[in-house]
Structure 1
Amino acid sequence: MAESGRAVLPQLTLDNEFFWTSGADGQLRLQECGDCKALIHPPAPVCRYCYSHNQGVRAVSGRATLIGFTVNHRFSLPGLPPQYVVAQVAIDEDPRVRLTTNAVECDPDDLQLGQQMEVVFEQAADVWFPLFRPTGDTELAPLPEDEIAPEDFYRAVRPPVTSRKFEEHSAITGIGASRMGRRLMVPPLSLTIEACEAAIADAGLTLADIDGLSTYPGLDVAGMGEGGVSALEGALGIRPTWINGGMDTFGPGGSVIAAMMAVATGMARHVLCFRTLWEATFSQLMKEGRASPPGGSRTTSWQMPFGATSAAHTLAQNAQRHFHRYGTTRETLGWIALNQRANAALNPTAIYRDPLTMDDYLSARMITTPFGLYDCDVPCDGAVAVIVSAVDAARDLAKSPVLFEAVGTQIVERTDWDQSTLTHEPQVLGQSAHLWSRTSLRPKDVDVAELYDGFSFNCLSWLEALGFCGIGESKDFLDGGANIARDGIIPLNTHGGQLSHGRTHGMGLIHEAVTQLRGEAGERQVANARVAVASSGGLTPSGVLLLRADG
């Protein structure tokens, strides 16, 4: 048992203390259902399989199968400098339980999916970290199967409860964006107001017409916004009838979906939806000692104590498993990055517009394997706003409205990042299947796709989930990039996406979808664009919107 210099420790609670301290006697312990004997992780007061409340704790063998790993090159925590291996293991006694951990006492180049692992403990203060090392067994085990095969998610989607569609009652009537750039050193509320004023003007409305406000995530943490509805209302004083804000929604686009529901139920007629980021400035202020990093030395995360500080560490392992199962390669992801850069070259508001070659992509510094620099979106400062209006009012406004055809929101798999699907980005397969259950349109009817690309693999997952190519077929579909070009089968992320235009957390994708359907995209305009799909998020509950031009 080794002593540790790790500075970020898990917060011990009544629910989890047994787990984080069980290594004191060299035993790994997990919650067990006393009735069906399933292992439950993270701990919960009820069994998700039989719904029993008879919960206890069980010592397990400490043996597991390696089901994912990524070599972290970029991110660091105090006491845990890069390089280190973030891994996921499936417990032998119940492979449905996956632990995020570190792979230790090994050469990362020798690790293989399916390798047999065993627990070793590292003590830090009052915590015993369960880490895993190879056992020396040479036989590789098959990876566990998902509860629902990726091809079968549509079977788990509930049918519409009514033939009446709430989507028919509203439309997008205005869009706006603030200036966008790296380290603008501008207060985030100023950027929010810029975008909102632009959207209101675009719709031909006034502030007095706005009776609803909706945002995501509503927090000002780590450069994640201006402070939400309260901050904007305090500045504008518009006295909204209805408001909405928070992270427990359908990704960043959840603010738009909530606004649609408010309009459909008569709670508002013109809802101003907004999203602001100032991560680039926030990062610079922290370097200058003028802002404090979020959190502290204790965390409730099940991933962060092991140095899994970014969504990249989870998605990198999903990407690696996709490579393993389907033969996908780094070049496959590279075609997405190259496509986004080619489109950004035609967009004057994009942050990165210089040409990008496959050699540039492959030779860029690694972030966390298999992701390199150009697999990751661009932290930036900027705000995007969208106005959702009642459809009976929309056609009297300044611009032709963009109509909502369908939304996809259903959660089908687990929302815990490391307990979810092994094959794709979590929270895309179910939402995509749900979307197509609410419309007679099909992927072949879509003219342009604006798909979430916080990382290149997000975008690949959405392409397969939405049916633009088959599950596992993206290697061939993306090869050469022609199918996703502006004149291809499905023009993708026509403004440059988050990989080149900038990280606007999905709202920028909705902005671009509207721009394309209006025919206002200039050099990057897709000819005769009438139907667009825009997704937001993944990992956390996400949402996807199908939009169409009026008439």
Structure 2
Amino acid sequence: MPAPSAYITGVGQSQVGTKLTRHPLLLTVDAVREALAEAGLTVQQIDGVATYPGRMAAYLGYSPVGADDLIDALGIRATWYLGAAEITSQLGAVVAAADAVRAGHARHVICFRTVYEAAALSRPEEYPPVRRATVDGFSQWFAPFNATSASSWVAQYAMRHVKHYGLTREQLAQIAITGRANAVHNPRALVREPLTLDQYMSSRMISTPLCLYDCDRFTDGSTALIVSAGDALDEVTCTPVRIAASAGTVEKYSWDQAEWMASYPTGADLWKHTDYKPADVDTVQLYDGFSFCVITWLEALGFCKVGEGGKFIEGGQRIARDGELPLNTFGGQIGAGRLHGFGFAHEAAVQLKGKGGPRQIPGDPRVAICTSGGGPLATALLLARD
């Protein structure tokens, strides 16, 4: 008897911007309604909800909406739901939903991620920032050195590639340049202007070797995916995309001197759960909260050897929308906005459904990889259109 399958059916996204005034719960509902409309489903057919990391009262800009908020707002009768940070990064919520429908705990699960960081920072009276008298937890080891941003932590891994493998800024620039070029064709992208190599090279340094354009920026918006059971596909009207394989890793959540970023074991593990090979992949949507994360994912997934990521993307032709391995065709987080992982799964589904419009890659794409995280925790999904 074949194993039960899980599919991404409807996908949706709200308005994306900075300093939005629409309430984050309403942005979430907007994204969910779009996903429902594409799938041809009603709220009454939804029996599961999953999100990452759940509502965070201490930092509402980072995560203002929890699974229970959406259940209440839409009147969902959930037989299974999840809202927690203790999973293998953002897309771990999609993996959990897939496991739930395969196990028969639900038939159609809404997965969503809502961010409101730009708006929250602009309205501190509504979203007061956390003020602490003491520093504890693993922050106590970073704060004294003013290393409070993940840019400082990722930069150390990037500098190892510079020193050991010869990674150049000109090579690294291709991630941001490619993302911005693709974002031009995405009507919802945060930045719809191309980026030149000269602009990149002359921008201010954030944490060597990462410059301003190597970093995503705070964004407001919501992304929703519907994960459906294989035996429930007769209820949907859109093209389903099968979750063919997944993998995830959590290692050194504190970032405390981990030898390699979690993308490396995750990428290797993904191929243990499928007969597909890297050569079968038509497009990759790889987490680029910082551009160097993409280098690690390309190496981890076997598209090139460890240390050869810079050479693999040199010049940008290979990863262009019409190249050998189209990358972040919606702009990635650098171009389209920091939707925190879920934008990559959304775009992978859009491309496999052939609904990319001006940014649709040539040919007939059938296999895609999307990822989230890559620091101390990481998730990878292999999607296929049967």
**Structure 2-normalised TM-score?**
0.95
Q: CA deviation at 1:211?
A: 0.4
Distance 1:435 1:164, change over 3 A: farther
In structure 2, what is the Cα distance between the partners aligned to 1:396 and 1:234?
24
Following superposition of structure 1 onto structure 2, how do residues 202-241 of structure 1 map, counting pairs within 5 Å? 202-220=38-56, 221-241=59-79
Letter in 2 for 1:378: R
Aligned residues of 1:433 and 1:465 also touching (Cα < 8 A): yes
For 1:534, the equivalent position in structure 2 comes to 370
For 2:382, the equivalent position in structure 1 comes to 546
Aligned residues of 1:378 and 1:501 also touching (Cα < 8 A): no
For 1:499, the equivalent position in structure 2 comes to 334
Q: CA deviation at 1:410?
A: 4.2
Matched, 1:381 2:216: no
| Aligned partner of 2:80 among 223, 242, 260 | 242
Aligned residues of 2:47 and 2:107 also touching (Cα < 8 A): yes
Matched, 1:324 2:159: no
Following superposition of structure 1 onto structure 2, how do residues 250-289 of structure 1 map, counting pairs within 5 Å? 250-286=88-124, 289=125
Aligned residues of 1:210 and 1:240 also touching (Cα < 8 A): yes
In structure 1, what is the Cα distance between the partners aligned to 2:294 and 2:282?
17
Aligned length: 380
In structure 2, what is the Cα distance between the partners aligned to 1:499 and 1:323?
21
In structure 1, what is the Cα distance between the partners aligned to 2:123 and 2:207?
25
Distance 1:217 1:295, change over 3 A: farther
Deviations 1:355-379 (A, max 9, x none): 2100101111222222111101131
Deviations 1:84-139 (A, max 9, x none): xxxxxxxxxxxxxxxxxxxxxxxxxxxxxxxxxxxxxxxxxxxxxxxxxxxxxxxx
In structure 2, what is the Cα distance between the partners aligned to 1:477 and 1:487?
16
| Aligned partner of 2:16 among 160, 164, 180 | 180
For 1:438, the equivalent position in structure 2 comes to 273
Q: CA deviation at 1:480?
A: 0.5
Q: CA deviation at 1:234?
A: 2.2
Letter in 1 for 2:96: A
Aligned residues of 2:6 and 2:228 also touching (Cα < 8 A): yes
Aligned residues of 2:297 and 2:374 also touching (Cα < 8 A): no
For 2:296, the equivalent position in structure 1 comes to 461
Letter in 2 for 1:186: R
Higher strand share: 1
| Aligned partner of 1:189 among 14, 20, 25 | 25
In structure 2, what is the Cα distance between the partners aligned to 1:229 and 1:385?
12
Letter in 2 for 1:369: T
In structure 2, what is the Cα distance between the partners aligned to 1:365 and 1:297?
32
In structure 2, what is the Cα distance between the partners aligned to 1:180 and 1:449?
22
Letter in 2 for 1:477: F
Q: Unpaired segments of 5 or more residues in structure 1?
A: 1-162
For 2:34, the equivalent position in structure 1 comes to 198
Aligned residues of 1:222 and 1:294 also touching (Cα < 8 A): no
In structure 2, what is the Cα distance between the partners aligned to 1:473 and 1:368?
22
For 1:518, the equivalent position in structure 2 comes to 353
In structure 1, what is the Cα distance between the partners aligned to 2:129 and 2:297?
32
Task: List, as ranges, runs of 4+ consecutive aligned residues in structure 1 with deviation greater than 4 Å.
Answer: none
In structure 1, what is the Cα distance between the partners aligned to 2:64 and 2:77?
18
Distance 1:206 1:177, change over 3 A: same
Following superposition of structure 1 onto structure 2, how do residues 418-433 of structure 1 map, counting pairs within 5 Å? 418-422=256-260, 426-433=261-268
Letter in 1 for 2:62: M
Q: CA deviation at 1:340?
A: 0.4
Letter in 2 for 1:184: L
For 1:362, the equivalent position in structure 2 comes to 201
In structure 1, what is the Cα distance between the partners aligned to 2:236 and 2:75?
23
Q: Unpaired segments of 5 or more residues in structure 2?
A: none
Deviations 1:31-85 (A, max 9, x none): xxxxxxxxxxxxxxxxxxxxxxxxxxxxxxxxxxxxxxxxxxxxxxxxxxxxxxx
Q: Which has the higher contact order (CA 8 A, sep 6+)?
A: 2
SS of residue matched to 1:382? strand
In structure 2, what is the Cα distance between the partners aligned to 1:185 and 1:178?
13
Letter in 1 for 2:223: V
**Structure 1-normalised TM-score?**
0.67
Q: Cα RMSD over matched residues?
A: 1.5
Which structure has the bigger radius of gyration? Answer: 1
